[in-house]
Amino acid sequence: MSSRIPLLYGAGSFGLTGPQSIGARINTVEDAQKIVDMFTSRGYRQIDTSRIYGGGTSEEIISQLDLKGCTVDTKVYPIAPGDFAPDKIRESFEISKKALGKTKIKTFYLHMPDRSIPIQDTLRVINELYEEGHFEEFGVSNYNAWEVAEMVGIADSNGWVRPTVYQGLYNALERRVETELFSCLRHFGIQFYAYSPLASGLLSGKILSEADMQTGRWDPNVSSIAGFLRAKYSLLIPILQELKVVLDKKGISLPEAAYRWLQHHSGLQLGDGIIIGASTVDQLENNLKENEGGPLPGDVVTLLEDAWGQAKGVAPHYAF
């Protein structure tokens, strides 16, 4: 059984052991293959990675896998201002292409904005790479709606490839994309792939007190805004606790509610996607099953609406 909204596996957990692979929990080809085997056994066929994942080694691992028919998307990431200059874009692409080996790239993304370079210059080299046959689709991530519209206009006026897919932050507690971005994407026929479906762990069921905010973006040793985020999002702890009580009575876990909300009650449409992660086969299988559930009970949906009402004032902007 597949989910209503298609799932992509986010390969940010793939990375060879080393200082460059901080956060990568799947460090061998053998373990990565087990993930792909589970993912494809349930009918899913899209893998998402980036040049920056695993310090570049996520792509290397993928190149050694039996992908069982999966398509692979990757991204160029601007580490420093100027990285989206045409020569830098091409250089990053060639490194990704070499790392991926014989694996073909379906969608090539701009991972986030580099506003130090005129977007027309960046789009020109993207079109050159596309015309050379290096990838099938062009995607963008973490841009403002007005920037997407500008890119489409520039592409159309020059006869260049336009973006056909957008990756953005979207979950039950972080819905900023609904205000303006969705209408922009729908107008231009651009698909939306949601990342961070569990709100960086807030909806994992493991954060039910401020003391639980210890890892990832909540950890001050990892994130420079951890203190700010903890101070703001800790206000949601009471409603998360209330939600868990209701869900426990219904036999629904908090992450399952988060996934099913995205699948059935969010602004996602057929043709959109949800990027999920997992660092073990069991975790992946559970995540897939939770996405395959039906619509949520009405009172659970109401509680999630209440949660968004409280989160709205502190939720981050969708663009970087």
CB 207 within 8 A of CB 201: yes
The angle at the Cα of 251, spanning 249 to 252, to the nearest 5 degrees, equals 110
301's tokens: 């949906």
Strands 46-48 and 71-76: parallel
Beta-strand pair 191-195/165-169: parallel
Of 9, 44, 53, 195, catalytic: 53
Query: By C-alpha distance, which of 186, 181, 155 is closest to 170?
Result: 181
Task: Note if 9 is an active site residue.
Answer: no
Integer Cα distance of 265 and 259 in angstroms:
10
CA distances (Å), origin 114, targets 100, 142, 166, 197: 24, 11, 16, 25
Active site residues: 53
